[in-house]
Amino acid sequence: MQQSRTRVVVFTDIHFTTAQPENGIDPVERFVTGLRHAIRFVPDIDHVVITGDLTNRGDLPSYQLLRKTLEEHETPVHLMIGNHDNRENFLEVFPEAPIDDNQFVQRILDTPHGRLVFLDTLDAPPYDYPRSHRGFMCDKRLAWFDTRLEEAGKQGCIVFMHHHPHPVGFRAMDTINLTNGDAFYAIAKKHGNVRHISCGHVHRTISGSHHGIPFSLFKSTVGQMPMTFESMNFQIETDEPPAYGIIDITEDSIIVHTEDFGLTDLAAIDR
């Protein structure tokens, strides 16, 4: 018998833009193909999450394009922001998006198998690049995180955040991860109820554990980070197949899948 579970499909770094993409990849086509793939092949999806970098430049037309694209599909999607986003423009186009008491794009979602915690790690305003490409959680956001974990008690929590909160081995990307990861982990470890952390930002499939807490990063739907541990160019990318993640949460386990949907010939499978 199938064990009861909560199933979360995770897209990340969809980088919508109304401009001509420099890499020649159409982000809308990629995301829609991935979403259709998930709806077609992944049964019983409970939630779909996009863990930030919703747009490439945080401009209003790109958010409007995202809104229009999402409205063409019935599946509700939880939106998060990353370093390529603009919080104010995002909230102008998505005014119904849940926020915390301090206007940060943070929220919780309680499921039958635990609490999903969505964090806002954007280090802006001011939007001052390249500094704002790094992640940061101010004291207000950390306090909100602390309270949400404390009130969860024995209920397990899955944390979603754009920036990876600890180094992952890519020199360039590790200069723009969550710069106060120690403060993050002090809270995450304190309550003993964080079961998993899901991030984006690196545009690469990476998993492991840090301070005993398992984590997973998923590939983007657009360009991917090539195997260049030592490069100091965090803009480098390659057109490896796009992907999304699937996180199945049960009482006993968390199973993480990645699906390189760009390798699938949908027409052949559907015949």
State the residues that interact with Fe ion by CB under 5 A: 13, 53, 82-83, 201
179 in Cβ contact with 136 (< 8 Å): yes
Beta strands in 154-264 (DSSP E): 157-161, 194-199, 206-210, 213-217, 244-249, 254-259
223 in Cβ contact with 203 (< 8 Å): yes
* Residue nearer to Fe ion on the CB measure, 55 or 106: 55
Residue 200 CB, nearest distance to Fe ion (Å)? 6
* Residue nearer to Fe ion on the CB measure, 79 or 152: 79
Peptide bond into 125 cis (omega under 30): yes
DSSP string for 171-200: TTGGGSSBTTHHHHHHHHHHSS-EEEEEE-
* Residue nearer to Fe ion on the CB measure, 115 or 162: 162
Residue 33 CB, nearest distance to Fe ion (Å)? 18
Residue 114 CB, nearest distance to Fe ion (Å)? 26
* Residue nearer to Fe ion on the CB measure, 82 or 114: 82
Residue 82 CB, nearest distance to Fe ion (Å)? 4
* Residue nearer to Fe ion on the CB measure, 6 or 198: 198
Q: Measure the CA–CA gap between 6 and 39, rounded to whole angstroms.
A: 16
* Residue nearer to Fe ion on the CB measure, 80 or 158: 80
Q: Please, what is the Cα angle at 161 between 246 and 132, to 5 degrees?
A: 135
Question: What's the burial of 6, exposed, middle or buried (CB within 10 Å: 0-12/13-18/19+)?
Answer: buried
Residue 108 CB, nearest distance to Fe ion (Å)? 22
Residue 270 CB, nearest distance to Fe ion (Å)? 31
Q: Measure the CA–CA gap between 184 and 157, rounded to whole angstroms.
A: 14
